[in-house]
Amino acid sequence: MLKIEELHVYYGGIHAVKGISLHIPKGKIVTLIGANGAGKSSTIRSIAGLVRSAKGKILYTSNEGVEENILGKTPEFIVKKGIAMSPEGRRILPHLTVEENLLLGAYIRDDKEGIEKDMDHVYSLFPRLRERAWQKGGTLSGGEQQMLAVGRALMSRPDLVMMDEPSLGLAPMLVKEVFDIIREINAQGKTVLLVEQNAFAALKVAHHAYILEVGSIVLSGPGEDLLKNPRVKEAYLGG
């Protein structure tokens, strides 16, 4: 579904991503693991069209089976192709209600009935958001804002959902809930690219994982294999 070939990302003099290549097969959960500053966010922001200075290829095959290089395309073009991103942290609009935030995720669509159906679907995934539909986004707890960011990404009805650290700062109970929901979204047919610092949970859920260190991929393999890998255990799973 998505193939990255030799991707480089630069911020002025900083070479943040150094020629990485990776593959996200349709229907799978793929995770990118790495320490702070490894280049995980830069990679998914490049796919989403949010990075100005990047080179290489990001080859996306849409549901119609057409492959094209989306590197350098606008975020709107990329969302219309079926790729959505739930950003790191609390990047929801604090002065808008939960419902308004969700509707923003559907800005490229004009099928009113479909939007209502998907809204209902998001509320069934996250009952907590339904209870708070009229509450301002900024007054939600951190975990609820995280859920809202994921829900908003789903509202564009994407084929590929990218999540940047959806479990960041969540209490253990909520972390479990978020990973259960990732599994469920995938079981409903969506391909998932997950960026995480919670290596244990991410490797458990992922079909395939890539480990990034200072802008390069140093290791990759099925999630369950990497969970047993001594180097991964030592560096990412607390020994």
Where along the sequence are the contacts to ligand ATP (CB under 6 A)? 11, 14, 16, 34, 36-42, 197
Instruction: Count other C-beta atoms under 10 Å from residue 12's C-beta.
Output: 6
Q: Which residue has the tokens 């929901």?
A: 181
Q: Which C-beta is closer to ligand ATP: that of 98 or that of 194?
A: 194
Task: For residue 164, give both structure tokens.
Answer: 């940047």
Task: Reduce the DSSP state of residue 232 to 3 states and report it.
Answer: helix
Rounded CA-CA distance 105/155 in Å is 5
CB of 11 to ligand ATP, least distance (A): 3
Shortest spacing between CB 44 and ligand ATP, in angstroms = 8
Shortest gap between Cβ of 108 and ligand ATP (angstroms)? 25
Kindly tell me which of 38 and 192 has the beta carbon lying closer to ligand ATP. 38
Long-range contacts of 75-81 (CB under 8 A, 24+ apart): 75/48, 75/49, 75/50, 76/108, 77/49, 78/47, 78/48, 78/49, 79/108, 79/156, 79/158, 80/108
Q: How far is the CB of 212 from ligand ATP (least distance, A)?
A: 6
